[in-house]
Amino acid sequence: MSNNLIRFQLRTSENFDAVRIGLGRFIHVLETLNTQIDLGVVELVLAEVLNNIAEHGGRESLNHPISLKWHTSDVLCINIINAGRCIPTGTITNAQMPNLDTEIDNLPEGGFGWVLVGILCSKVRSIRRGSFNTLRLNFPKK
């Protein structure tokens, strides 16, 4: 395995344990490098994205491992490659905060993920090639 590639497999839909283990391995590798990147931000963003793959990727996401590839330059660039369902057009670029101007009992439980990803990353790009998604995330240095 290359030093800038980590793969893990979802065995069932909503296999959040596999996500947790794969994410933990990835963050551990980054901790050993001097990336000058806020790893708490990286972990939060990747947890959101990887859990979305597990929750919404469908049966397609079970056929191939999820791959995390990265490199550093003036930013940390992470490519997340998976065989899950296609991310609907506009999901990332048009993400908006849910309405919080409501009674406390009516506050939404979800809908914050893609907004946070967009805020915390300096660049987010989604590409679909064949049956694979590649999500490219850039994280600025501190």
The CATH-assigned architecture of domain 5-140 is 2-Layer Sandwich (3.30)
Using alpha carbons only, how large is the chain's radius of gyration in Å?
A: 15
88 pLDDT band, cuts 50/70/90, is: confident
Give the start-to-end residue ranges of the domains of the chain: 5-140
Instruction: Quote the pLDDT of residue 48.
Output: 94
Answer yes or no: is pLDDT of 1 > 50. no
Helix axis angle, 39-56 to 16-31, nearest 10°: 160
* Per-residue model confidence as pLDDT tens digits over 55-75: 989 888 898 999 999 999 889
CA angle 9, 14, 20 (to 5 degrees): 60
Answer yes or no: is pLDDT of 87 > 70. yes
Read off the pTM.
Answer: 0.87
CA distances for 128 relative to 76, 115, 134, angstroms: 21, 21, 6
